[in-house]
Structure 1
């Protein structure tokens, strides 16, 4: 607590914000960076020491992301305790696919307003739009008491002072009906960080032939999204056979072994390249040597419902935009494809399209698509959208926080 008091004393007019999550994802570095850039004192508390299990958060100290860092153990006790005993201006809780219990406890004990930021809507992953397959949900997340699980999600949605979501508004509307509650809420993405933009190195006189995937691939079969690891492997083999170069940057690979089939394919195929995780502030520099951002997964082979995958969003889109890349998505992930189409920055494909992807590529107006990508680097930037987040904070806590915010 003394460290927080010292920070407040150094900058008495700056808002002090607790950002907390069990496991920090790379794309949330943008949130931290822009909070600090706009004058906030950022206190980061996590339950895991590594970002996506790959990079030590402590290595980011002094780089403009946070002023104080706590890796809590156990997170479920220490995080609510801190929120109960310190008067933050606002608490921004990043809720992913982990247990809802710590965040339910946070809402019960916090003395400051709490905004719940849904990275994923875990409670909707086995919801078909009409009812939830609780047995599938229990199996996927190793839950003992399903009734308690969904009671806690209800509490989180109804007790939060504000909500942030990234997926389709249909999800949010579905939850307002399900929980009979309409909270203060905004849609807010992991938008383009202009400081990370890198000039694209592609040959503008050629059709795109170099595809790149950047995201988390799980090798643990117990993970709910394990299928993505296997189906991305199938895609890589299919595209390489057609003469496309395919590169992977796996945000979940810390270089400690595993992913043998990917490494073996890289040895066998000169057009396939496999890389371990790199921090997101360095990612655009790696991606910009390619032509297409690959955001396609065969989700129809997964266990989650079509309602779930038809309405999820993907933060990878903005990493690709930072590198000047158009994006390919699966038509099965309908909201992602809709987002790409709305901004003219890419398009959706099916498995059948992938089987003959060369013809798909040749049928596109790439000049127009690449021009739209450049426009989107500004239209979909954190710089442009941060004032909406600041306004949401101030609406929730009923006071001015960001004095530079108009």
Structure 2
């Protein structure tokens, strides 16, 4: 009989989808998703046997507040919550910190083991109080995060293995550091003996929102493209109003391409057409806590590895930079070196990086490492039922 694993997440993230898909392919598990935002249904169907959708949103305003309360008391929401309460799985895996997932956790069967997937550690996201726009959302996330750490039976995280030592409170349950890794079917064979004519960089995402503590994406874009390097994004900004800035930049800058994201299952194939993937985060650690870049592990790093292209990353992003350095699959730079990026790229033995990338794809192939998750689930399940 298959063991049932229920994933609860506001919006299903790529790491969750990868884990669920790989577990499902073992043939030993039934995977169920509880989510509050719809994504590509056909795509989710490959990772989850069933999806329970609760139609609620965080974004409240004058236009949608009536619909929000209608949705809370709707038949669809009542039925979804009834389904949630009836679940009695082997494991609940809850991603946060999020108010809706916390409320959902209070409704689930208390006999089942609960694993908290700490997608990021929000305690590390701190700014100086002189910063003009204090993130109220971030303050709430820290409170919710601590609550999850206290009530769950195990913690899954993707930062450095020892990152919990930086917290000002103790984690008393088992934990597992597990990188997102490479989904087998998304791995693109690495090109052999490739010659670079015109350097083409890609960012696997939309332009990042501007805020004090991080160099503006538009400034990074201009610094890259003025060297004659082609630079593309793969989707629009998260904040819609930022689109105009980049539409204007695309019109006047022949080296910049403001891209559209395609279907998720073909994403790594589209990314593989470029020469390098870049994570263009450069931080001012006099404003933002240096632990944020030091401990952050973005799934984009593994998107580039899946796509088989070398990576350019800031040395401040320590845990990701270590993956790049230790596997010799790219370039680690300081912000001050960005202005000389073209010279740095041209000095690199590109085909050697590609050769190393092929080995790295195998090292992080998820089907080879999923046993670590399975063993962790079993450990947390057994501890839960010994109590």
TM-score > 0.5 by shorter chain: yes
> If the length of structure 2 is used for normalisation, what is the TM-score?
0.82
Instruction: Quote the offset at 1:275 in angstroms.
Output: 1.0
> For structure 1, which runs of at least 5 residues remain unmatched after alignment?
1-12, 50-55, 128-132, 400-406
Instruction: Quote the offset at 1:27 in angstroms.
Output: 4.1
In structure 2, the residue matched to 1:159 is 151
Asked whether the 8 Å contact 2:182–2:366 carries over to 1, the reply is yes
- Give SS of 1:250's match: coil
User: Which of 164, 172, 190 lines up with 1:182 in the alignment?
Assistant: 172
Measured against aligned partners, the alpha-carbon deviations of 1:9-35 in whole angstroms (never above 9, x if no partner) come to: xxxx01111111112223432122112
In structure 2, the residue matched to 1:387 is 371
In structure 2, the residue matched to 1:118 is 118
Q: How is 1:319-358 mapped onto 2 (pairs within 5 angstroms)?
A: 319-358=303-342
Asked whether the 8 Å contact 2:294–2:318 carries over to 1, the reply is yes
Instruction: Quote the offset at 1:294 in angstroms.
Output: 0.5
Instruction: Quote the offset at 1:163 in angstroms.
Output: 0.8
Distance 2:368 2:252 in 1: 45
Distance 2:132 2:23 in 1: 35
Residue 66 (structure 1) aligned with residue 48 (structure 2): yes
User: Which of 279, 285, 291 lines up with 1:307 in the alignment?
Assistant: 291
Instruction: Quote the offset at 1:81 in angstroms.
Output: 6.5
Asked whether the 8 Å contact 1:207–1:361 carries over to 2, the reply is no
Asked whether the 8 Å contact 2:157–2:177 carries over to 1, the reply is yes
In structure 2, the residue matched to 1:86 is 87
Instruction: Quote the offset at 1:170 in angstroms.
Output: 3.4
> If the length of structure 1 is used for normalisation, what is the TM-score?
0.79
CA RMSD across the alignment? 3.2
Distance 1:311 1:208 in 2: 33
Distance 1:318 1:365 in 2: 21
In structure 2, the residue matched to 1:274 is 258
- Give SS of 2:135's match: helix
Measured against aligned partners, the alpha-carbon deviations of 1:300-327 in whole angstroms (never above 9, x if no partner) come to: 2895311222221121111001111111
> For structure 2, which runs of at least 5 residues remain unmatched after alignment?
59-71
Using a 3 Å threshold, how does the CA distance of structure 1 residues 279 and 311 change in structure 2: closer, same or farther?
same
Q: How is 1:1-400 mapped onto 2 (pairs within 5 angstroms)?
A: 13-39=1-27, 40-49=29-38, 56-60=39-43, 62=45, 64-74=46-56, 83-96=84-97, 98-99=98-99, 102-103=101-102, 106=105, 109-111=108-110, 112-126=112-126, 139-142=134-137, 150=142, 152-175=144-167, 178-200=168-190, 204-206=194-196, 209-219=199-209, 231-250=216-235, 259-300=243-284, 304-398=288-382
Asked whether the 8 Å contact 1:201–1:288 carries over to 2, the reply is no
Asked whether the 8 Å contact 2:5–2:90 carries over to 1, the reply is yes
Using a 3 Å threshold, how does the CA distance of structure 1 residues 151 and 195 change in structure 2: closer, same or farther?
closer
Using a 3 Å threshold, how does the CA distance of structure 1 residues 298 and 80 change in structure 2: closer, same or farther?
farther
In structure 2, the residue matched to 1:8 is none
Distance 1:353 1:138 in 2: 29
Instruction: Quote the offset at 1:227 in angstroms.
Output: 7.2
Instruction: Quote the offset at 1:93 in angstroms.
Output: 0.9
Measured against aligned partners, the alpha-carbon deviations of 1:59-86 in whole angstroms (never above 9, x if no partner) come to: 4354x12111122144898788655432
Distance 1:124 1:80 in 2: 33
